[in-house]
């Protein structure tokens, strides 16, 4: 075979090899993205479940009650228990007031008559 024909044949073979490698790489990328998407979906589902659990009022009530009981048991022997026993209710009242204030501001800015 003449050298030119041999070079053309080698070039054609290299091109086919590169195209095959490109197709394989694309296929592997698609599979990897699919796997990553599955992991992301599972993580998102877990986050949604935890968020729903944490925002559940029953969980907050039980957690607050248990926390208050543990705090009262722990602080019975401490002199500053009187001050510490007011920290939790004050914090909850401040959070409630912030929520009411935010609702009031949202109502006042929407053109509705504020209470």
Whether the per-residue pLDDT at 81 is higher than 70: the answer is: no
Site of tokens 């019975």:
76
| Integer angstrom CA distances of residue 115 from 25, 54, 96, 97, 103 | 64, 31, 17, 15, 11
Whether the per-residue pLDDT at 15 is higher than 80: the answer is: yes
Residue 39: both structure tokens together: 């992991």
Q: Where are the domains of the chain?
A: 3-80
Mean pLDDT of the chain: 81
Residue 49: both structure tokens together: 């479940």
Q: What global pTM score does this model have?
A: 0.39
pLDDT confidence of 61, banded at 50, 70, 90?
Answer: confident
pLDDT confidence of 17, banded at 50, 70, 90?
Answer: very high
Q: What is the pLDDT of residue 75?
A: 59
The mean pLDDT of 95-112, rounded to a whole number, is 74
């Amino acid at each position: 075979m003449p050298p030119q024909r041999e070079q053309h044949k080698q070039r054609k073979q290299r091109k086919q090899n590169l195209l095959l490698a490109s197709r394989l790489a694309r296929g592997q990328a698609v599979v990897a993205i699919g796997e990553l998407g599955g992991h992301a979906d599972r993580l998102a589902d877990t986050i949604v479940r935890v968020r729903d659990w944490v925002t559940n009022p029953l969980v907050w009530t039980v957690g607050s009650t248990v926390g208050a009981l543990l705090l009262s048991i722990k602080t019975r022997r401490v002199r500053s228990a009187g001050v510490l026993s007011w920290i939790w209710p004050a914090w909850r009242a401040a959070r409630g007031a912030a929520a009411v204030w935010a609702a009031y501001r949202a109502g006042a800015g929407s053109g509705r008559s504020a209470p």
